[in-house]
Amino acid sequence: SVLVSAECYSTSKQLAAVVAAHDRRRDGVLSLADFLRGGRYVAKAFLLAAYGAKKKKGKKAGGGKGGKKRGGGRPGVPLPVCTLPPHLLRRRDDGGPPRFLVETSRPVTDARRWDRDRPPRHPLEDDSAWYVDPPPRAFVDIGAAVKTGDRETLERAFSRGGGIPVDVTDRFYKTPLMVASGCGNYEVARYLLELGADVRAVDQFFWTPLHHAAHGGHQEVLRLLVEAGAPLDAAALNGATPLMRAIESSRPACVDFLLQAGAKVTAENKRGQSCLDVARTYADARIMELVRTKVDSLPRPRDPKKGKRREVQTRPRAPAALRDKVG
């Protein structure tokens, strides 16, 4: 009745299907609490109750040792979204928004009504004179400007008047170079490197821009970062290297480039997995062949037992005068 009175955009059949999905007793009544909780149409893993304390079912009184029920198990800790806390967001000196929100240009004309190709028919319809006041300041996340390739906004932010450092981090601890490397924006990445962006900067998971480029499978950006001096074997928080991220992206061209550039194929993460183990896990035959060929081409270490030469003990020869005397 609430949905009908609100004139929602749904048919009577759709409303009946919603009621039938939530009607347990089959009396045609929908529980508002169950409907708002979403347990009928949202997966259990995404419900808030899935992250609460887990209660263990106790044994019955007649069987086993005792019949007491144990409650309050270990709470299910959700996967944290690692964002910068609000109290650590450093605002501008003038009290403006945080630095990763940069000022962007805003159109001052109503392009939806009149434009160059559709001029107004009558002078009274031309309201362009109304837009004489400067538009209000508009800010956009610097990561969004990097993804869209908004060079005008970036140049304004990194200019002397903007005062934004080129390695400013957003609330996800990502620098503009990391965002450009992850989305594969080659032109913006080259522009940031020309401004002096740090190729060794890391985020909260210790990912470098090379990790992001390898994970996205962008070969040209990989080449650009390597030429700029990016570390090839930088270890992330779990010990993974950019080569492992390239293997996970299933991009043979990126894997081959990093191998040719000198990436360490014998590196291991904190689980003890090598690059070949990661390639076997993702089961890409092309990448497995590349990694196996590189591993087989490496010089094998000498066995200390087999490689040790046996020293032959020789008897010392007697002086020549003594030998003549004995003879």
Residue 325 sits at φ, ψ, to 5 deg, of -70, -40
In this predicted structure, the answer to whether residue 46 has a pLDDT above a threshold of 60 is: yes
Per the structure, the complete domain to which residue 233 belongs is given by 86-108+136-299
192 and 100 in a common domain: yes
Specify the DSSP element, H or E, that contains 33: helix 32-37
Q: Give how many domains the chain has, as a whole number.
A: 2
21 and 170 in a common domain: no
For residues 168 and 100, the answer to whether their CB atoms sit within 8 Å is yes
Instruction: Give 262's pLDDT tier (boundaries 50, 70, 90).
Output: very high
In this predicted structure, the answer to whether residue 175 has a pLDDT above a threshold of 70 is: yes
Residue 322's pLDDT is 45
Residue 203 lies in a domain: yes
**Long-range contacts (CB closer than 8 Å, 24 or more residues apart) made by 8-15:** none
Residue 77 lies in a domain: no
**Alpha carbon of 265 to those of 20, 51, 243, 298: distances in Å?**
57, 39, 8, 9
Q: Which CATH number is 162's domain given?
A: 1.25.40.20
Residue 243 lies in a domain: yes
143 and 23 in a common domain: no
| Interacting residues of 266 by C-beta distance below 8 A, sequence separation 6+ | 274, 275, 295, 298
Instruction: Give 313's pLDDT tier (boundaries 50, 70, 90).
Output: very low
DSSP states along 59-108: PPTTSSS--PPP----B-PPPP-----GGG-PBPTTS-SBTTEEEE----
DSSP states along 192-261: HHHTT--TT---TT---HHHHHHHHT-HHHHHHHHHTT--TT---TTS--HHHHHHHTT-HHHHHHHHHH
CA–CA separation, 25 vs 33, rounded Å? Answer: 15
140 and 37 in a common domain: no
- Output the six-digit token pair for 60: 């019955």
Percent of the chain with pLDDT over 90: 41
163 and 36 in a common domain: no
Instruction: Give 12's pLDDT tier (boundaries 50, 70, 90).
Output: confident
CA–CA separation, 250 vs 254, rounded Å? Answer: 9
pLDDT in tens, 203-229: 989 999 999 999 999 999 999 999 999
101 and 12 in a common domain: no
In this predicted structure, the answer to whether residue 188 has a pLDDT above a threshold of 90 is: yes
pLDDT in tens, 87-96: 777 777 777 7
In this predicted structure, the answer to whether residue 105 has a pLDDT above a threshold of 70 is: yes
Residue 269's pLDDT is 93
Residue 288 lies in a domain: yes
Residue 298's pLDDT is 86
In this predicted structure, the answer to whether residue 306 has a pLDDT above a threshold of 60 is: no
Instruction: Give 315's pLDDT tier (boundaries 50, 70, 90).
Output: very low
pTM comes to: 0.63
In this predicted structure, the answer to whether residue 104 has a pLDDT above a threshold of 90 is: no
288 and 153 in a common domain: yes
In this predicted structure, the answer to whether residue 268 has a pLDDT above a threshold of 90 is: yes
Within 10 Å of residue 158's Cβ, how many Cβ atoms? 22
Residue 25 lies in a domain: yes
104 and 253 in a common domain: yes
255 and 208 in a common domain: yes
Residue 306 lies in a domain: no
In this predicted structure, the answer to whether residue 294 has a pLDDT above a threshold of 50 is: yes
In this predicted structure, the answer to whether residue 162 has a pLDDT above a threshold of 60 is: yes
Which one of 19-23, 36-40, 55-59, 82-86 scores highest in mean pLDDT? 82-86
In this predicted structure, the answer to whether residue 297 has a pLDDT above a threshold of 70 is: yes
288 and 243 in a common domain: yes
268 and 159 in a common domain: yes
**Mean pLDDT, rounded, for 122-136:** 67
41 and 152 in a common domain: no
Residue 10 lies in a domain: yes
Which residue, chain included where needed, has tokens 């419900």?
47
Residue 189 lies in a domain: yes
Residue 195's pLDDT is 94
In this predicted structure, the answer to whether residue 82 has a pLDDT above a threshold of 50 is: yes
CA–CA separation, 87 vs 90, rounded Å? Answer: 8
